[in-house]
Structure 1
């Protein structure tokens, strides 16, 4: 059993002073408030729970920065996607493991302690399924194990290139499956997971999955999470209306029994009625502000959604620049630019923007990944210590505001499942993982 003492810590009830916790194995044991430290305690100034990252495509970390050139006047998500197809053409399971491990190291170093891997790279380079249908899923599990991050694996069903069951294009050959093949993939993936990992499913989008296929695969989730891309681009919304007469989020809410198990990724382009209805469903909106900005996708209607009591979480999606605080900062800054005022995502009861965003994405992320988060007895011992107390000095909420908006290198340590994975701001096994990543990239982009 290990003991820690924090001058201040973020608990489920908010900030507390003089917090002493015990860790029994991988979980928090006791949590005592208002006490002095005891001999043998590890002492830290500030502790917060690790954040969940609800949406990652780990292999895309390897192409970060490779698409930042103007290719045509209307450069957008769809032209970026062609770069992505070219990058993944040669990836092997070993390549995916090396790239994804580096992404997970960077997530831990910036304060994420669990990831929802929206995993759609299943097939060999010729488009045929590997002899082991979960060969690529095994690479993801290996990367999570090596880095130490918690994992919610979300195998993706992807069958078509557009609404109405249009045949997939050549660049999608490594994604596609039929329903029977997806059943085999899900079961093989489930068998790979360590005890503290969990499994959901991810119908990729309404572009890639027909209504009948969606009905067929949803039972595979059981009570587990269901994640889906929805309304990420204006072109997607227009195509949905042309095909079904309904916008993507509108169609899902009317036809798919969307509830608290669901996480709609992006949901950027919604009407006010859709926004309120999504909030009322109990589902989580999985926002990826840095990627959405990088791709020029648009700005989520966060203020309307907040006023409707909607639940949110954050993800790193394309992993163009992995930074938990950066995702929260971009979320608020996008709203300030859209509305031309400040502190948009705080309110009268929670005036600190940093604290409001942290609390909402912690709760929404835990729901979306179905994994309890927070410094509380029985929960996985996943927490972050913040250094540089002069920069982060002040009341607890001030520390979160400074971490999100005004601090660099504030994270000192990260523990996941009771094991320290980051010390002095660096992953304890990161050097070897970075070296393998560099060798992999040198070969892939030579």
Structure 2
């Protein structure tokens, strides 16, 4: 069935265009017509600024249960991690499905149309496999489908607690024992409509150097995305230097992990050589500014990485907030604080990181653009809220990136289907209640 959407204002990659009509059929944009001053008869009207759907390139869905519970007292990433392990220990396929469904619905409300789920809670507590060895991954896939967004399941190899150290008791459910066993399990998963499969290396401390190539080869054989937490903490760098005499980036380069299908997540504490290695290989960078500031990780060298040739994407990671517009502006504003100068990225460049380049990092190369042939994934931001009212329409992109929040998202369309209409999710009627129920189940 063909549907026509009329966009009051549309971001077309370089500029805001008023009056754009989109012909959508079979989940794709078949035609995009500018200069349509009034809605055609029967068209679905989207008032505000419509942009390509946002790509959340890095998510740990279960971390959403930590929001508001880890802000008391002082500490570091490592003390936060202990609380995170407690939540992970309580997950079952059923409770994880309920939580992820609510979290992904929250993402849809925030304009997210695809998510990269960095998934490592694979087995039952203690490490025993479920009857379906991919029960947890299938729960996430089902949750995304029910919430109406696309998912790239980045199934994560997590084999050790540190360099030369076996998994600790609370990490046993993350581990398959070896990279070959990980690959055997992951190969049982199948792509389907709305689902891409990718691989992830949790970190160089969690996957022994001898096993890195096996994970990279699995992804290469399938032309699948490959993601890795990289240099998030200086402690990781120090331990890698002690164990291997090189930085994590150099270790990954030497083991064939880097390349244009690979994305390093965080890339916070890098040397000049690291930056050059990532850029010259076309390895992407996923910045997660709201998590990086929440965990006191530091500000990564995003400007230098992009200049070196590393494409930028964005993720909400631990879901301290779920707001890709905030992630986009935070990248710019963090750099302003660090450098004490303004204007490192334009609104257009930040939107590209949040849309087209984010989708590409997740294997959705046909998403992230409002044009004929692209997936019909887009989201509409209100231009008449207390945050966005005022600027002239030609500056609507600047208003969206630098002032709007997730609360200003009015519509989210995925594959031509209205998932969020007038600020309400169409299949999860009360997302807040769903979150409350799912999180309470993990605390009881």
Aligned length: 433
Gaps of 5+ in 1: 347-352
Residue 45 of structure 2: aligned partner = 43
| Paired residues for 1:332-347 under 5 Å | 332-343=332-343, 345-346=344-345
Query: 381-390 or 23-32: which moved more?
Result: 381-390
2:195 and 2:397 map into 1 onto residues whose CA distance is 28
Residue 383 of structure 2: aligned partner = 388
1:231 and 1:15 map into 2 onto residues whose CA distance is 37
Q: Does 1:359 align with 2:356?
A: no
SS in 2 for 1:400: helix
Residue 377 of structure 1: aligned partner = 372
Contact residue 153 and residue 199 of structure 1 kept, 8 A? yes
Question: Please, which of 64, 67, 79 is the counterpart of residue 70 of structure 2?
Answer: 67
Q: Does 1:218 align with 2:216?
A: yes
| Paired residues for 1:255-294 under 5 Å | 255-294=255-294
Residue 57 of structure 1: aligned partner = 60
Residue 302 of structure 1: aligned partner = 302
2:215 and 2:439 map into 1 onto residues whose CA distance is 35
SS in 2 for 1:188: coil
Contact residue 425 and residue 431 of structure 2 kept, 8 A? no
Please report how far the alpha carbon of residue 267 of structure 1 lies from its aligned counterpart in structure 2 after TM superposition: 0.7
Relative to structure 1, the CA distance from residue 263 to residue 394 in structure 2 (aligned partners, 3 Å threshold; closer, same or farther) is same
1:385 and 1:439 map into 2 onto residues whose CA distance is 29
Query: 7-16 or 419-428: which moved more?
Result: 7-16
Relative to structure 1, the CA distance from residue 44 to residue 13 in structure 2 (aligned partners, 3 Å threshold; closer, same or farther) is same
Q: What stretches of structure 1 move > 6 A for 4+ residues in a row? A: none
Q: Does 1:185 align with 2:201?
A: no
Q: Does 1:90 align with 2:101?
A: no
Residue 159 of structure 1: aligned partner = 159
2:199 and 2:306 map into 1 onto residues whose CA distance is 27
Deviations 1:335-388 (A, max 9, x none): 111112222x22xxxxxx322211233232122111022112222210011223
Contact residue 288 and residue 315 of structure 1 kept, 8 A? yes
Residue 204 of structure 2: aligned partner = 206
Gaps of 5+ in 2: none
Contact residue 155 and residue 200 of structure 1 kept, 8 A? yes
Residue 439 of structure 1: aligned partner = 437
1:161 and 1:425 map into 2 onto residues whose CA distance is 43
1:394 and 1:214 map into 2 onto residues whose CA distance is 50
1:274 and 1:203 map into 2 onto residues whose CA distance is 18
The TM-score with structure 1 as length reference comes to 0.92
The TM-score with structure 2 as length reference comes to 0.93
Please report how far the alpha carbon of residue 213 of structure 1 lies from its aligned counterpart in structure 2 after TM superposition: 1.1
Contact residue 54 and residue 286 of structure 1 kept, 8 A? yes
1:330 and 1:156 map into 2 onto residues whose CA distance is 27
SS in 2 for 1:264: strand
Deviations 1:195-245 (A, max 9, x none): 231111111111011122111232221211111111000111111111111
1:110 and 1:436 map into 2 onto residues whose CA distance is 16
CA-atom RMSD in angstroms? 1.9
Residue 349 of structure 1: aligned partner = none
| Paired residues for 1:113-152 under 5 Å | 113-152=113-152
Query: 287-296 or 245-254: which moved more?
Result: 245-254
Residue 27 of structure 1: aligned partner = 28
SS in 1 for 2:433: helix
SS in 2 for 1:155: strand
2:81 and 2:342 map into 1 onto residues whose CA distance is 34
SS in 2 for 1:198: strand
Contact residue 121 and residue 174 of structure 1 kept, 8 A? yes
2:112 and 2:393 map into 1 onto residues whose CA distance is 20
SS in 1 for 2:11: strand
1:360 and 1:59 map into 2 onto residues whose CA distance is 24
Relative to structure 1, the CA distance from residue 3 to residue 393 in structure 2 (aligned partners, 3 Å threshold; closer, same or farther) is farther
Query: 401-410 or 286-295: which moved more?
Result: 401-410
Residue 403 of structure 2: aligned partner = 406
SS in 2 for 1:61: helix
SS in 2 for 1:145: helix
1:330 and 1:149 map into 2 onto residues whose CA distance is 24
